């Protein structure tokens, strides 16, 4: 249990967060969310005492043990079994069964236990570090993107482990589905403020959206009222009989709360360029198989056809050949058997994080984007740079000085710049925040061509795919249907076993996921009913606002007529128009009162619905 009290952090003139306070109570599982660069990892480092805050403090009990999963790996042992055993405390040093159980859960075979950590890829090295943390007797875990490089089966194992773990947890992840499965509360960093709510990530984003929508309505309404009051003050300041009214309006202006315009927060913006394609079939593959020299086959017997509009998710445990298949389809690697043929009008765009090594270190970001553009011009290149959050002079940074995440954004920018009708995407979300992931999902849904994607993000697979390629038992097969249809079966077939590992509790994983599907269905029904209640209330507010706008436009017309009548010295028209103007202004005042009442009813109902949602689904 910890208490974060009024902490602030800046880097030079860049404010990260200010006066943030929240507590992590016993057993709470906190999803820590926010845009990239808004301070999530910084906050974790401050809690782990690896970085200092500029102001404020963090209070924790004496002897409270915090385990922190870092992004950098350091190993000291000759094999992974001994390395992970270093995580055991002195009083639990003989619990090797627990170490083996965790390693198997994270996708290691028993034959791997004697291998050196340095023999494994970066993804598996992250798993070794995670395993060492999980076997330790910590009171709190701080996990920074623990699902990067984990496959779906290992992610599901980790979800069950963390849900049953009794301690506290603060976790950063771009995988919304993963966080929703685990979290009891959300801590968000937004507009330099830190806030905590009870519920899941979806609840947090909905609350932020509603609050900012209400704020903007209040701001625009305030601007309209201020304009009217200032016009009244200006018109009647010199008239003695209106002195009290004028002073009242002046005091109201001075005392009222000011609603400032919310600045737009930068995020990645995806819009893939579609290269027109008229025929039906884009790709035909027959009995594709692959093996490396002097090795057994990774997979065999893959046959499928792909048409425009297909969204194919590639599924399977790590090491089975998912990335290898994408490389074959991208013509970067030759298959060992079988054949495949693209239509002559097919144009590919291929994203893989390993492709960052192909970026020219001497190029600027702008030059790298322009290198793949047809009829390249600086303005178009700058627009794409801006959509990847390299605006202004940032587009002139050299590739050689960019971080790994920034280089991946350049690769995504190059795909956006390249007209294509087939997208091959290998884990495109690893360096993206949730808002950017959402933008990518929408772009994939809108893309007119076909998409083949490797991702372990179940939310993306459920929302995007309509067909799947599944790797299992050194074979790959094509499934005509979306991810949701085979989700539980994949888990049942591929879940890591506990052979040779002490484990008396077999999890009923399939039943667990069926129950989660039912909960999602109930949530969808609730949201639909909520919309039925709120939509007419929101429409009423909008109707009043439109009426106010119509009458304010009418004021301008009447005032112009009044000026014309004054110039023509038409006293009769002046009297009639003055009365009409007075009537319109009284009507507007009455409408503002009605608007305030209708807005209050709408906001109260929103709050009521939010509370009902939390009671049912928290």
Give one DSSP letter per residue of 275-316, joined into a string.
Answer: PP--SSEEEEEEEEEE--TTS--SEEEEEEEEETT-EEEEE-
Lowest average pLDDT, out of 105-109, 256-260, 517-521, goes to 517-521
Q: What is the pLDDT of residue 510?
A: 38
Residue 215 has pLDDT above 90, yes or no: no
Asked if 383 and 359 touch (Cβ cutoff 8 Å), the reply is no
Query: Residue 335: how many CB atoms within 10 A of its CB?
Result: 19
Over range 388-413, report the average pLDDT.
86
**Pairing relation of β-strands 467-472 and 193-198?**
unpaired
Give rounded-to-5 percent helix, strand, coil for the chain.
50, 20, 30
Q: What is the pLDDT of residue 515?
A: 56
In angstroms, the Cα distances linking 340 to 283, 420, 454, 550 are 7, 19, 19, 63
Q: What is the pLDDT of residue 240?
A: 65
Q: Where are the alpha helices (DSSP H) in 3-95?
A: 40-47, 80-85
Over range 131-150, report the average pLDDT.
86
In angstroms, the Cα distances linking 276 to 377, 419, 423, 462, 466 are 22, 9, 14, 27, 21
Rounded to whole angstroms, how far apart are CA atoms 50 and 68? 10
Over range 94-122, report the average pLDDT.
85
Q: Where are the alpha helices (DSSP H) in 447-570?
A: 458-464, 483-494, 509-567
Band (425; pLDDT cuts 50, 70, 90): very high
Residue 506 has pLDDT above 50, yes or no: no
Residue 395 has pLDDT above 60, yes or no: yes
Rounded to whole angstroms, how far apart are CA atoms 156 and 171? 15
Residue 495 has pLDDT above 80, yes or no: no
Over range 317-326, report the average pLDDT.
88
Over range 290-316, report the average pLDDT.
92
* Longest distance between any two alpha carbons in the chain, whole Å: 104
Band (524; pLDDT cuts 50, 70, 90): low
Lowest average pLDDT, out of 190-204, 258-272, 281-295, 340-354, goes to 258-272
Using a 10 angstrom Cβ sphere, with 0-12 exposed, 13-18 middle and 19 or more buried, the burial of residue 580 is middle
Instruction: Classify residue 210 by its DSSP letter.
Output: H
Rounded to whole angstroms, how far apart are CA atoms 191 and 319? 41
Query: Residue 194: how many CB atoms within 10 A of its CB?
Result: 21
Residue 517 has pLDDT above 70, yes or no: no
pLDDT tens digits for 40-91? 989 999 999 999 999 999 999 998 999 898 767 788 899 999 999 888 876 6
Question: Is pLDDT larger for residue 525 or for residue 305?
Answer: 305
In angstroms, the Cα distances linking 216 to 211, 220, 261, 355, 599 are 9, 6, 7, 43, 12
pTM of the model: 0.67
Of 170, 167, 162, 218, give the one whose Cα is nearest residue 194.
170
Tell me the percentage of the chain whose pLDDT exceeds 90: 31
Over range 578-584, report the average pLDDT.
87
Residue 499, CA atoms < 13 Å, CB-side half-sphere? 8
Over range 145-166, report the average pLDDT.
85
Band (282; pLDDT cuts 50, 70, 90): very high
Alpha carbon 366 to chain centroid, angstroms: 26
Lowest average pLDDT, out of 36-50, 86-100, 238-252, goes to 238-252
Q: Where are the alpha helices (DSSP H) in 425-508?
A: 434-446, 458-464, 483-494
Average pLDDT of the chain, as a whole number: 84
Rounded to whole angstroms, how far apart are CA atoms 433 and 316? 24
Tell me the percentage of the chain whose pLDDT exceeds 70: 90
Residue 97 has pLDDT above 50, yes or no: yes
Q: What is the pLDDT of residue 497?
A: 35
Over range 91-110, report the average pLDDT.
81
Rounded to whole angstroms, how far apart are CA atoms 143 and 162? 11
Over range 550-562, report the average pLDDT.
83
Instruction: Classify residue 500 by its DSSP letter.
Output: T
Rounded to whole angstroms, how far apart are CA atoms 265 and 436? 12
Q: What is the pLDDT of residue 505?
A: 36
Residue 313 backbone dihedrals phi, psi, to 5 degrees? -95, 135
Q: What is the pLDDT of residue 488?
A: 67
Residue 618 has pLDDT above 60, yes or no: no
Lowest average pLDDT, out of 170-179, 251-260, 445-454, goes to 251-260
Residue 308 has pLDDT above 80, yes or no: yes
């Amino acid at each position: 249990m910890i208490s974060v009290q009024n902490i602030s952090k800046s880097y030079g003139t860049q404010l990260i967060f200010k006066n943030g306070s929240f507590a992590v109570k016993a057993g709470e599982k906190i999803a820590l969310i926010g845009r990239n660069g808004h301070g999530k990892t910084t906050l974790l480092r401050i809690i782990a005492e690896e970085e200092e805050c500029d102001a404020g403090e963090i209070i924790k009990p004496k002897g409270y043990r915090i385990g922190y999963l870092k992004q950098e790996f350091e190993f000291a042992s000759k094999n992974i079994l001994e390395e992970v055993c270093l995580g055991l405390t002195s009083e639990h040093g003989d619990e090797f069964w627990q170490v083996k159980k965790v390693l198997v859960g994270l996708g290691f075979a028993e034959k791997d236990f004697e291998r050196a950590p340095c023999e494994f890829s970066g993804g598996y090295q992250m798993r070794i570090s995670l395993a060492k943390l999980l076997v330790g007797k910590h009171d709190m875990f701080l996990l920074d993107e623990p699902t990067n490089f984990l496959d779906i089966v290992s992610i599901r194992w980790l979800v069950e482990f963390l849900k049953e773990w009794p301690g506290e947890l603060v976790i950063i992840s771009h995988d919304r589905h993963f966080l929703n499965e685990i979290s009891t509360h959300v801590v968000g960093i937004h507009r330099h403020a830190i806030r905590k709510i009870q519920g899941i990530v979806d609840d947090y984003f909905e609350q932020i959206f509603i609050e900012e929508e209400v704020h903007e309505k209040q701001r625009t309404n305030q601007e309209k009222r201020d304009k009217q009051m200032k016009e009244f003050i200006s018109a009647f300041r010199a008239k003695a009989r209106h002195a009290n009214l004028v002073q009242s309006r002046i005091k109201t202006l001075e005392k009222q709360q000011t609603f400032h315009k919310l600045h737009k927060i930068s995020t990645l913006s995806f819009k893939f360029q579609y290269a027109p394609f008229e025929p039906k079939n884009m790709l035909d593959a027959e009995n594709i198989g692959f093996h490396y020299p002097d090795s057994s086959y990774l997979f065999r017997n893959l046959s499928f056809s792909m048409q425009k509009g297909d969204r194919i998710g590639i599924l399977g445990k790590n090491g089975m050949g998912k990335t290898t298949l994408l490389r074959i389809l991208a013509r970067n690697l030759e298959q060992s058997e079988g054949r495949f043929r693209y239509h002559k009008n097919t144009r590919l765009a291929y994203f893989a994080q390993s492709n960052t090594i192909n970026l020219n270190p001497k190029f600027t970001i702008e030059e790298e984007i322009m290198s793949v553009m047809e009829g390249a011009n600086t303005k178009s290149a700058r627009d794409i740079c801006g959509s990847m959050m390299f605006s202004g002079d940032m587009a002139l940074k050299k590739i050689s000085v960019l971080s790994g995440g920034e280089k991946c954004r350049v690769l995504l920018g190059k795909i956006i710049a390249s007209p294509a009708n087939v997208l091959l995407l290998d884990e495109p979300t690893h360096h993206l925040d949730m808002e950017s992931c959402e933008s990518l999902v929408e772009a994939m849904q809108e893309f007119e061509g076909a998409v083949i994607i490797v991702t372990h993000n179940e939310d993306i697979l459920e929302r995007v795919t309509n067909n799947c390629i599944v790797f299992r038992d050194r074979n790959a097969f094509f499934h005509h249907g979306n991810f949701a249809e085979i989700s539980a079966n994949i888990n049942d077939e591929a879940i890591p076993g506990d052979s040779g590992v002490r484990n008396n509790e077999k999890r009923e994983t399939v039943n667990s996921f069926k129950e989660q599907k039912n909960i999602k269905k109930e949530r969808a029904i609730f949201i639909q009913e909520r919309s039925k209640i709120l939509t007419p209330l929101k429409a009423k507010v909008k109707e009043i606002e439109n009426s106010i706008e119509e009458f304010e436009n009418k004021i301008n017309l009447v005032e112009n007529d009044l000026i014309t009548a004054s110039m023509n010295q038409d006293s009769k028209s002046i009297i009639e128009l003055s009365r009409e103007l007075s009537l319109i202004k009284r009507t507007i005042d009455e409408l503002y009162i009605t608007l305030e009442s209708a807005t209050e009813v709408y906001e109260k109902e929103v709050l009521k619905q939010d509370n009902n949602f939390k009671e049912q689904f928290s």
